[in-house]
Amino acid sequence: MDYWSSSVSVDDEFEKLVLRMNPPRVTVDNASNNKATLIKVDSANKRGSLLEVVQVLTDLNLIIRRAYISSDGEWFMDVFHVTDKQGNKVSEDNIAERIQQSLGPKGRSFRSMTRSVGVKPAAEHTTIELSGRDRPGLISEVFAILADLKCNVLAAEVWTHNSRMASVVYITDEENGLAINDPDRLAKVKQLLLYVLKGDRDRRSANTEVSVSSTHTERRLHQMMYADRDYDNENMDCMIPDRSKPLVNAENYADKGYTVVNVSCPDRPKLLFDTVCTLTDMQYVVFHATIIAEGPEAHQEYYIRHVDGSPVSSEAERQRVIHCLEAAIKRRTSEGIRLELCGEDRAGLLSDVTRLFRENGLSVTKAKVTTRGSQAVNVFYVADASGCPVKSETIEAVRNEIGLTILRVKDDTYTIAQTPQTGKPSFGDIFRSRSEKFLYNLGLIKSCS
């Protein structure tokens, strides 16, 4: 064992000893505040504690309205004001226990979360991680390859930002429903996916990996996007309207040796998770923070130092902090029309649906694929591949192909194109027979004969 591995092992054991002697204390208070539940966390401080707590609250679908964070010294003390998605107080069930488990000696440490991935499958499924240059039709090609190789997609999440794409895909063998454990087959999957990701323009940075086990999907997507430098582009600012651009500033507080980072932007779910992920990935430690997100705007203030104890030391580093936080906030922003697909799941469904998007000139900007029993429950954000506004006629053509009740539009700004009332067949009538045939072939409807 080398010195680095030995020192890491000693640090891990010491950290576990400290946590056993000073177990985390979590209290859930529904009496002190009329509008929110207060969650108080006291624990021995360790690297990544803040991220782990915020991650648990985010996974519980809680909305963080306010937060006061202090981890200066050897102790970690946080207070979170949270509600559910409807703005109501939350019950105490499982919250304290889950936070204590995440911070305790048996919880997953920060180092294990960032460990490099291997090539062994998990027991239930195989996890594939993809990153590279985004282009119209890329997601369709990825799902087509997996379908051709008899890989069934159980779940997937796709993010695109600043011409980059990152995706985590969970697959099983189409025949037996188990994880794929054949090294030759895994090598072929990686080879073909990498070939598609590289294309003609991304021969150096495209990447595909097969993970050893399940991971926190959104946490991993942040890491992949950051590693792929999605924050590094001179034209990035023009890709999102000015009204949605976050305001980020970083200045050194010389008297105390901190860098003070201020972030102001429209509030949305998981905003705190996104910013804390990025500061952690950039090797900064949050010593103090104040979060206020009780209206349409969210304001975050962080007092940070690098893990070596130093504040931001140069203008280049300061600009990098700003650009990385801007990217962290914007990469989750969903561009395009939201489409929700709910129907009977089957192998190859994603390949066929995304092919229809591509054939109709639509590009997937974000996707979340889930399977609930025998049902596929998928969300896609699609934009016009040429950069023009999406035409309602195009969306309706795709919906008629797949099925109006199966693929629904969930977008407040979308208006369905109206068909003039004439004696001629309507737009829907023209596509109805093709739609029924397509659905039958997909296995989404049964024959009526």
Domain annotation for the chain: domains and CATH numbers? 19-112+239-318 (no CATH), 126-226+335-442 (3.30.70.260)
Q: How many CB atoms lie within 10 A of CB 265?
A: 22
Strand partners, 344: 375
Distances (CA, A) of 138 to 57, 208, 235, 333, 421: 33, 14, 21, 19, 39
CB burial of residue 386 (10 Å; 0-12, 13-18, 19+): exposed
For the residues 358-380, what does the mean pLDDT come to? 95
291-333 pLDDT tens trace: 999 999 999 999 999 999 999 999 999 999 999 999 999 999 8
pTM for the model stands at 0.82
pLDDT tier at 242, thresholds 50, 70, 90: low
Q: How many CB atoms lie within 10 A of CB 258?
A: 19
Q: Which helix (H) or strand (E) covers residue 262, if one does?
A: strand 258-266
| Confidence at residue 427, expressed as pLDDT on a 0 to 100 scale | 33
For the residues 243-272, what does the mean pLDDT come to? 91
When mean pLDDT is compared across 121-130, 149-158, 403-412, the lowest value belongs to 121-130
56-110 pLDDT tens trace: 999 999 999 999 999 877 788 999 999 999 999 988 777 888 887 877 665 544 3
Q: Report yes or no: 40 and 26 within 8 Å, Cβ to Cβ.
A: yes
Q: Report yes or no: 22 and 43 within 8 Å, Cβ to Cβ.
A: yes
192-213 pLDDT tens trace: 999 999 887 766 678 888 865 6
End-to-end CA distance of the chain: 70
| Confidence at residue 414, expressed as pLDDT on a 0 to 100 scale | 79
Per-chain mean pLDDT for the chain: 83
Q: Is the pLDDT of residue 179 over 50?
A: yes
Contacts of 424 (CB under 8 A, 6+ apart): none
When mean pLDDT is compared across 41-45, 174-178, 228-232, 360-364, the lowest value belongs to 41-45
For the residues 269-297, what does the mean pLDDT come to? 96
| Confidence at residue 215, expressed as pLDDT on a 0 to 100 scale | 78
Return the closest-CA partner of residue 258 out of 312, 307, 300, 299: 312
**Helix, strand, coil percent values for the chain (each to nearest 5):** 35, 30, 35
pLDDT tier at 126, thresholds 50, 70, 90: very high
